[in-house]
Amino acid sequence: MLSELGLAKVHEEQSREMLQKSEKKYRKLFENINEGFALHEIIVDENKQAVDYRYLDVNPEFERMTGLNAKKIVGRKASEVLSGIQNEPGYWIKRYGEVALEGKNITFEDYSKVLNKWFHVNSFSPQSGQFAVTFTDITERKRAVNRLKESESKFRALIEQSLTGIYIFNQDRFLYVNQKFCDIFGYTREEILNKLKPTDVVEKNERQQALENINRRLIGEVNSVHYFAKGKRKDKRELWIEIHGSHIELDGEHVITGTVLDITTQHQNSIKIEESELKFRSIFEQAAVGVSIIETATGKYYEVNQKQCEIVGYNIEEFLQLDFMEITHPDDLNEDLVQMERLKNGEIDMFVIEKRYFHKDGSLVWVNLHVARLWLQGEYPKYHVAICEDITQRKRAEQAIINSEKRFKGVVEQSLTGICIFNNEKFVYTNKRFAEIFGYDEAELLESVRPIDVVAKEERLNLQERFQKGHNHDSAYVSYVAKGIRKDKSSLWIEIHGGRVEVEGKVFISGMVLDVTDKIQAENSLKRQNAYLALLKEVDVLVMQSKSLNEFTRFVLLKLFEIIECDNAVIKEFIGETSSFKTVNANLSIELSSLILENSYKPFSYEKFKKGHYLLGNNCTQHLVHIQEIELISCKGIRSTLTVPLVIQNKLYGVLELMSSQHNYFSEENISFIQTLAQHLSIGINKVLTDIELYEHTKRLEEAQRIGKIGSWEYNIESGKGIWSKELYNITGLSEKNINLGYQEFLNLVVPSDKEFVKNKILDAQSSRSPQSFEFQIRYKNKKNRVINAYVEAHFNALGKLKRLLGLIQDVTENKQMQAEIKERNAIYKMLFDTAPDGIIIANKNGNLLDSNPAMCSMLRYSKKEIVSLCASDIVSTLEYSNIKAALEYITSQPDYYCEWIFKRKDGTQFSAEVIANQLADGSIMAMVRDMTERKIAEDEIKNLNVELESRVQKRTAELELLNNELRAFTYSVSHDLKAPLRGINGYSKLLLDLYAKSLNDEAKSFIENICSGTDQMNKLIDDLLNYSRLERSEINMVPFNLSDVIQDVLHLSKSELVQNNIKVKIDIKQITVISDRNALTIALRNVIENAIKFTRSRSDPYIHIYHEQTNDKHILIVKDNGIGFDMIFHDKIFNIFQRLHRVEDYEGTGIGLAIVKKAMTRLGGDVWAESSENNGAIFYLQIPKFK
C-alpha cells in the first residue's frame, strides 16, 4: 500500500514535468504563430440569429490540427464540413455568432467530439460578421492532467478506506494517517497529526523498542521492519498491533511509512488455540485410533499416541526411533511411498490406504491408514499425520472370504455338480460339468443355448414361472427334479437346486444341476417293482374278498391300470368248444375290449399259450397276421399289444391282453411283471371260480333246507359240541349267536310231555344202531309249539364206541296244520257238495263222469252209481255234442266257462240249464248246473212287468211335464200379473205423497206409507216365490268353479248392508274348486248370508265367519254367525216354506229364504242343516257333493 502511494507520487511528478514541457512547447508554437488559425463569416437567419458559418480562410496548422483540407473547406459552410456540429454541446456556432455579431472576444477550452480533440480556443471578430479563431490542440495536456487527477483520487480513496492503518511519520510527528489508523487507536486525525508523537501509540514498555526500530530505519540500517507490539489507545486500553514499516524519502525528507494491524483478536485467538491444542493433545493421547505424526522427509515418527503403540506393539520411546518404512510390509510400502510423493507435491491433501505393519512380535497387523499433510499449501512439507485403525480382524474375515471364494471357484469349476447362472434368456455362466451333463461345450452353452432348451418341453413353462417367481422374490430357493434334454435330444433326469442371485443389480437364477437319471430310473424301477409287488399282494387279497369273477377281474384291471399306463386291458376266456375267446372283463374302452385277435392268435397256437408263452406285438402289426385285425387295431390307434396266457391247472383259461398307443410300449420289465400278474390272476380266477361253486353249493343246500324246513345237526360225543345248520335255527327260533349248542340245549326245547319220548328215541337210535324217525313238539319262542319230524342216526368208531349223533329236523307244523285244515275243509266241501241246490258234476278230461251230487242226481234222475258209469254226452241233448268238445278244450286253459245247455234226463226228457265249469287242481273238471226252467218263467214275468212299468212311467212323465208347464205358466203369470197391480198401488201411493202432500194430513200420509211398505213386502214375497219355483224348474248345470268366487260375489251383493251394520266378515277358504250348479249355490249362499246379516245386526259386535271343511266325497261350506240364533227344536221347521220364527216388524222376511236354500242344496245333490241355540248364534252347513 505504501509502495502504491509512492508510485502515485512519482506519477504526479512526472505529469507535472510533462505539463511544463508541453506548456513551453505550446508557447513556442504560439509565438511562431504556429497555432491553428481560421477566418469565418457568420450566417444568420431572418431573426439575426447565427445558424451557421462559412470558412473564409485557414492556415496549414489548422489543417494539421483538424485534419481538414483547406481547399475542401474554404467557402463551404461548417454544417457541411463538420456534420453534427449543430449538436455539439458547446454549440460553437452560437458562441461564434456572439463574437462575429457583437464583437466579443472569447477564450475557452472545449472538446470536439467530432475531432476527438481538446482545443484551447481564442475567438475574436476582425470585422463585423466575421470571426477569427485560433486553435491550440490541448488534447495531450488535458489527458495528462486528467490521468493524474484520476490516479490520485483513486489512491486517496483506497488509503482512506483501507482496513489497515496507514501512517507516515518522521522522527517527531505523524505526517499522515488514514481513517483506519485513527480508528485503531481511538484518536481523531487532528489529534494524531497535531499532538502525538509516533511512539505515543505504543505501550510504554514497548516504546524504546519502537523507537529503536524507527531509528534503524531512519538511519538506513534496515529498509523495513515487521514486528508485534502492544499498542495503547487514547482510552488507555491496550491492544496488540502488528507493524510493518519501511523507510522512504519523501520530498527530500526521510520519513517512515507503514501499516498497523489491530491483531488483538487474533492474539486472543492464539491463546485459545493453545488451550485447544491441549485438549487436542489429550484426545490424541487417548484416541481409539492410532495417531502418529511423522517427519515427512525422513519418515521418522515424531510423535505417536498410545493406541498407535498398542497397534504395533512398541512403546513410545521405541517408536520414536522408528520410521514408517521399517515397520511397513514390503508389499505395501511401494504404494504408500507413491502416495506420500503425491502428498508432498501438493497433488493431494490426504490419502487412505490399507496396509500391513509388522508388529513387534513379528506378526502382521492390517491397518486402515489415513495420511494427511500438516503443512500449508506452499510451505515446506515438514510433518504429516497418519491415523491408523487396526483392521486385522476385518482383513482376516475378508481373506477368509477370498480364500473361500477361491475354494468355491475351484469347487465350482471342478464340481461334479453342474452349475449355471442364467437369466430368462441366456446362460451367463456354466461350469464344465453343467455343459457335460447336457452334452454341449461351455462356449456353445453361453452363446447359443437358452435355458429352456435344456429342459423337456413340458418343463419349460414351469421353468419360466419359477424364474419369474425367483425374479420377483416370490420364492428364494427351489429344488425339484425335472426332465432335461441333451444336445442330442436324448432326455435325462436332472435334479435342480435353484436360487436367486443378484449380480450388479441384475437378477439371475443360479442353479445346481445333478444328473439323476440313473437314480430316477432306479427309483422308478424300484417304485414300479414295489407297485408290482403291492399289486400282486392286492390281487391275492382281492381273491379272498371278491364275490364274483366280474368283481375280481374288474378290481385287478383297475389296479393294473394304476401301474401300467396302457390304453386298454382285457381279460378273455378261452372257450374250448369253439376255440374262440370271450371277454370276461375289460378296462376303459369297450370298443377295444371287443377286439378279439383270435385270428392272429391261431398261428401262434393255443398250445404255446398253454405252455405260458406270451404274444408280444411291440410294433403292433408284427405279430398280427390277419389283415383285417391289423387294420382294426391300427385304426383304433393301437401300436403295441401284449397277450399273456392265463393258465389254470395246465388248462388255458384265457388271456390277459394289454394294448398301448405307443410303439414298443412293453419293456421286458413290464412283460415279466405282467406274466407274474397273469399267474396270480390265473390262481385268483381259479379260486374265485371254485369259491363260487362251493358257495353256490352251500347256498343250494341252505336253500333246500330252507324250502324243506329241514335243519340238520351233528353232535360230537367226544368234544361235546354240536353243529347246527342254518335252517335249524330258523326252525327252533333261536339266534345263531347266543346258543351253546349241545344235546341238553336241544332237549330243553322239547315240550315237557315229549321230552322222555325224544330221549328214548335217541337212545334207541344208539342201541339199535338203526336210524330213528319220530315226531314231537318243541317250544317255539313264546308262540305256538311247533311240530317236528326228526331223524336220528348214531355213528360209531372202529372200536364200536359212539362217536357222534347226526340228525335231521323237519318242521312239519304247517304240514300238520294243513292236513288238519284239509280234513276240515273236505268235510265242509262234502257237505256243500251234498246239500247244494245246484247240480254238481265232476268229469275227467275225456268227459267221463266221475262224481255228482244228490241235486245233480235228482236233476238227471240217475243214481250216483249210474252217473259215474256215464260220460258227458250221455246226459245232454244231441244238439250239445259239439259244444262239449269245445267246452272241454276251453276249460283247460281258462276258468269259469259259462254256457246254457239242454240236458237230457234218464227218462229222455230235456231241460235247459246254466253251466259254470272249471278245471280242478287234479285236472278233472267240475261243472255246476242250474236248472233254468223256473228262472226262465220268472224272467218272462219281469219282462212283462217292465214293459208295463215303462208305459206307466211314460204316462206319468207326460203328466208331470204337463204339470210342470202349467206350474211354469202359473208362476210366470203370478210374477207378472201380481206385480203389475202392485206397481200401480205403489206408484199411485207415491204420486199421492208427492203431488198431494199438502192436502194430506199426517195420518193419511202414514196410511199411504203403510200401503207402500205393504207393496214392498208383497213384492219380496213374489220374488222369493219366483226364485223358489225357478229353482224347482230350472235345469241343474254342473260346472267347476272356485268356491271363493261365489262367496265374493255374494258378499259383494250384500256389501252395503254389511258395512251399514258394521258386520265383520272373516273368510277362511283356500282356493277350492267345486263342481256344482253355480247359480243354485249362489242363491243358497246368498239367502244364508242375508239370514246371517238379518239376525246379527242387532248384536253389539256382529260377525260372520265363512269357512270350509271337506271329506272324501263332499265339501261343507260353513257360515257361522253370532246372531240371535234359534232353538234347535225348530231346526226342521226353519227350512219349510213360509215358516217364520219372528214377527215381520221384528225381522222382516217372507219365510221363503231358508226354503230356497234347502231347495237349492237339494237340487244340486247336497244338503243344508244348522246348529244353534237361542242367543248363541247359528251355524249353517251347506254340503256340496264332490263329483269325480
Partner 1 sequence: MNNINVLRNTILLVEDNPVDVDLTLRAFKFNKLTNPIEVARDGHEVMSWIKNYKKGEPLPVVILLDLKLPKYSGLEVLKAIKSNTILKSIPVVVLTTSSEDDDIGEAYQLGVNSYIVKPVDFLKFIEVVRQIELYWSVLNKTSIH
Q: Compute the least distance from the CB of residue 957 to partner 1, in Å.
A: 21
Q: Compute the least distance from the CB of residue 971 to partner 1, in Å.
A: 9
Nearer to partner 1, 178 or 1015 (CB): 1015
Residue 374, CA atoms < 13 Å, CB-side half-sphere: 15
Task: Identify residues 149-188 at the interface with partner 1 (CB under 8 A).
Answer: none
Nearer to partner 1, 344 or 1030 (CB): 1030
- For residue 642, give every residue at least 6 positions away whose Cβ sits within 8 Å of its Cβ, in sequence order, or none: 614, 615, 616, 617, 657, 658, 659, 666, 670, 671, 674
Structure-block grid coordinates of residue 859: 236233476
- For residue 431, give every residue at least 6 positions away whose Cβ sits within 8 Å of its Cβ, in sequence order, or none: 412, 413, 415, 418, 419, 420, 442
- Among residues 306, 305, 301, which one has the least CA distance to residue 320? 301
Nearer to partner 1, 1030 or 1140 (CB): 1030
Task: Identify residues 126-145 at the interface with partner 1 (CB under 8 A).
Answer: none
Nearer to partner 1, 431 or 1087 (CB): 1087
User: What DSSP state is assigned to residue 255?
Assistant: E
Task: Identify residues 998-1037 at the interface with partner 1 (CB under 8 A).
Answer: 1012, 1015-1016, 1019, 1026, 1030, 1034
Beta bridge partners of 418: 513
Nearer to partner 1, 410 or 981 (CB): 981
CB 407 within 8 A of CB 425: no
Nearer to partner 1, 549 or 1152 (CB): 1152
What is the rounded distance in angstroms from the CA atom of residue 804 to the CA atom of residue 797?
A: 9
Burial of 1179 (0-12, 13-18, 19+ CB in 10 A): middle
**CB atoms inside a 10 Å sphere around CB 358:** 16
Give me the amino acid identity at 1073.
T
Q: In what order do the strands lie in the sheet with 477-485?
A: 427-430, 418-422, 506-515, 491-503, 477-485
What is the rounded distance in angstroms from the CA atom of residue 535 to the CA atom of residue 677?
A: 8
Nearer to partner 1, 980 or 1129 (CB): 980
Residue 496, CA atoms < 13 Å, CB-side half-sphere: 25
Q: Compute the least distance from the CB of residue 961 to partner 1, in Å.
A: 16
What is the rounded distance in angstroms from the CA atom of residue 43 to the CA atom of residue 96?
A: 10
Evaluate the CA torsion angle 641, 647, 652, 653 in order and state its sign. Answer: negative
Structure-block grid coordinates of residue 354: 490399507
CB 727 within 8 A of CB 709: yes
Structure-block grid coordinates of residue 789: 319230524
Q: Compute the least distance from the CB of residue 973 to partner 1, in Å.
A: 8
CB 325 within 8 A of CB 338: no
Helix, strand, coil % (nearest 5) of the chain? 50, 30, 25
Q: Compute the least distance from the CB of residue 1136 to partner 1, in Å.
A: 25
Tell me the number of residues near partner 1 by CB under 8 A.
22
Task: Identify residues 933-992 at the interface with partner 1 (CB under 8 A).
Answer: 972, 975-976, 979-984, 986-991
Nearer to partner 1, 346 or 984 (CB): 984
**Location of C-alpha cell 309249539:** 785
**495 three-class SS:** strand
- For residue 380, give every residue at least 6 positions away whose Cβ sits within 8 Å of its Cβ, in sequence order, or none: none
Nearer to partner 1, 547 or 976 (CB): 976
Question: DSSP assignment of 450-499, as one string?
Answer: -GGGGB-HHHHHHHHHHHHHHHTTS-SEEEEEEEEE-TTS-EEEEEEEEE
Nearer to partner 1, 278 or 969 (CB): 969
Structure-block grid coordinates of residue 612: 405260458
Nearer to partner 1, 29 or 1012 (CB): 1012
Q: Compute the least distance from the CB of residue 1019 to partner 1, in Å.
A: 4
Residue 306, CA atoms < 13 Å, CB-side half-sphere: 8
Binding mask 1030-1049 for partner 1 (x = CB under 8 A): x---x---------------
Q: Compute the least distance from the CB of residue 1162 to partner 1, in Å.
A: 20
Q: Compute the least distance from the CB of residue 1044 to partner 1, in Å.
A: 24
Q: Compute the least distance from the CB of residue 1181 to partner 1, in Å.
A: 28
CB 303 within 8 A of CB 293: yes
Q: Compute the least distance from the CB of residue 1043 to partner 1, in Å.
A: 23
**17 three-class SS:** helix
What is the rounded distance in angstroms from the CA atom of residue 361 to the CA atom of residue 314?
A: 9
Phi, psi of 132 (to 5 degrees): -110, 145
Nearer to partner 1, 1030 or 1099 (CB): 1030
Nearer to partner 1, 541 or 969 (CB): 969
Nearer to partner 1, 58 or 1008 (CB): 1008
Binding mask 68-87 for partner 1 (x = CB under 8 A): --------------------
What is the rounded distance in angstroms from the CA atom of residue 574 to the CA atom of residue 584?
A: 10
Task: Identify residues 616-645 at the interface with partner 1 (CB under 8 A).
Answer: none
Question: What is the chain's length?
Answer: 1188
Q: Compute the least distance from the CB of residue 1054 to partner 1, in Å.
A: 19
Nearer to partner 1, 47 or 1056 (CB): 1056
Question: Phi/psi zone of residue 781: left (φ > 0), alpha (ψ -120 to 50 degrees), beta?
Answer: left
Evaluate the CA torsion angle 541, 545, 548, 552 in order and state its sign. Answer: negative
What is the rounded distance in angstroms from the CA atom of residue 984 to the CA atom of residue 98?
A: 156
Q: Compute the least distance from the CB of residue 1037 to partner 1, in Å.
A: 11
Question: Phi/psi zone of residue 1088: left (φ > 0), alpha (ψ -120 to 50 degrees), beta?
Answer: alpha
Q: Compute the least distance from the CB of residue 976 to partner 1, in Å.
A: 5
Q: Compute the least distance from the CB of residue 1045 to partner 1, in Å.
A: 20
Q: Compute the least distance from the CB of residue 980 to partner 1, in Å.
A: 5
Q: Compute the least distance from the CB of residue 1149 to partner 1, in Å.
A: 17
Nearer to partner 1, 926 or 1012 (CB): 1012
Nearer to partner 1, 83 or 964 (CB): 964
Give the interface with partner 1 as residue ranges (CB under 8 A): 972, 975-976, 979-984, 986-991, 1012, 1015-1016, 1019, 1026, 1030, 1034
